[in-house]
Amino acid sequence: MPKWVWVKKMELKGKVILVGVTGSIAVYKACELVSQLRQKGAEVHVLMTPHATHLISPLTFHALSGNPVVTDLFVPETHALEHVALADRADAFLIAPATANTIAKLALGLADDAVTTTALACPAPLVIAPAMETKMWQHPATQGHIKTLQARGVIIVEPETGWLASGKQGVGRLASLERIMAALEEALKRQERRQDLTGWRVVVTAGATREFFDPIRFLSNPSTGKMGIAVAQAARERGAEVVLIAGHTEAPLPEGVEIVQVRTAKEMLDAVLRYADWLEVFVGAAAVADFTPKQVATTKLRRSETKRLLLELEPTADILMALRQRRPDAFLVGFAAEIGEPLERAKEKLALKGLDMIVANDVSQPDAGFGVDTNRCTVITRDGQIKTLPLLTKLEFAHQLWDFVRERRERQKAEVKRVCR
């Protein structure tokens, strides 16, 4: 079978990148960032909050970027709507460093300085690299704002652990320039893909099912739903009409998609079949139970009354096979989460269930299993092509998956037209 390995490339020539700089002591690192962006051929425009100008002179960024720096929205000598013009031209907007104050404003839609006003007016992808003291980063308010922004599709480059301005060590240090540049690359790829799935009708499943054996106890698995949520979010960002059927999840649900909450494998099957005639593409990323208790107690089973508990299990219905039987023309994508080398089992599953594509991954790896933000995956197609990807965030992988799905569907459509001639 042919095999490809996906390789990252950074293309910035001709790209218009806005860099928002806020009042963090890490502001000096933004100088190197702006310099690197310009050296790679980007057209860079810097915007600064008033607090940032107290830490470093706008003249520094003017020299590094080669463009005037926007610091005040109400300077008579400048174009009053310069920030709006920049927002319309931008290919991506990067805010680095981002303080807790600016993050809160962005999450709440407040706009009282050059950075937040431009961010609110800018349709381009937004990348935020926070930098602050540990307790500020870990505060529930800050984490809540981060989740809000992530649900909107904002890329967050989480801070690293190291020495902070307070002289203490902890999480809150601005991410490395390499990580920030990689996140910017992902933002630019999103811009290139923007709306390329417009008109698609997509159903995605995510999270774990729970199989109850009494009213309050159940059998389940460690899935947090992050992978399926990322797949749904990526499809929505690219213009698809998306329904997300979610079991138990522990990640923010994306905005702009229809959410159907379920608990059991049976409820998930019923929900999928309700959309069977509507969907065009189905991605089964949920961790659906293979077995469920044959009988469910009507009251809580008490240890004092039950010395030994034996549960008789029966197989659950296979959602992918049921959907394939109902919709032989739909494009179906499955996931094969295995312990150890997953390829052979994934190939068997692809053939058995009549899938168009399957994603194989080894969930025993610490950076690619349940609950983490990254994944190592191999994509296998019906005609035997294998595409192996490196470690990516789940959202990065989700976009790669949609690239593959779009390529395969276009090829299928072209083949149908050729046969019909």
Cis status, amide bond into 97, omega within 30 of 0:
yes
In angstroms, the CA 94 to CA 72 distance is 18
Per the CB < 8 A criterion, the answer to whether 55 and 131 are in contact is: no
Confirm if 218 and 210 have CB atoms less than 8 A apart.
yes
Tokens 């690299």 belong to which residue? 129
CB atoms within 10 A of CB 159: 23
How far apart, in Å, do the first and last CA atoms of the chain sit?
Answer: 30
CA distance 98 to 113: 13
Element (H, E) at 11: none
At residue 39's C-alpha, the angle toward residues 132 and 88, to 5°, is 70
Contact present, 93 and 18 (Cβ < 8 Å)? yes
Closest listed residue to residue 236, CA positions, set 205, 257, 210: 257
CA 190-196-197 angle, 5° bins? 110
Query: What length does the chain have?
Result: 421
Q: What is the DSSP string of 40-107?
A: TT-EEEEEE-HHHHHHS-HHHHHHHHSSPPB--TT-TTS-TTHHHHHHHH-SEEEEEEE-HHHHHHHH
Per annotation, catalytic residue among 67, 101, 221, 361: 221
- Positive or negative, the Cα torsion across 140, 143, 149, 153? negative
CA distance 196 to 198: 6
Cβ atoms 265, 209 nearer than 8 A: yes
Our answer to whether residue 375 is catalytic in this structure is no
Among 406, 402, 395, 367, CA closest to 127: 395
378 bridge partner residues: 360, 388
**Residues annotated as catalytic (active site), given as ranges:** 221
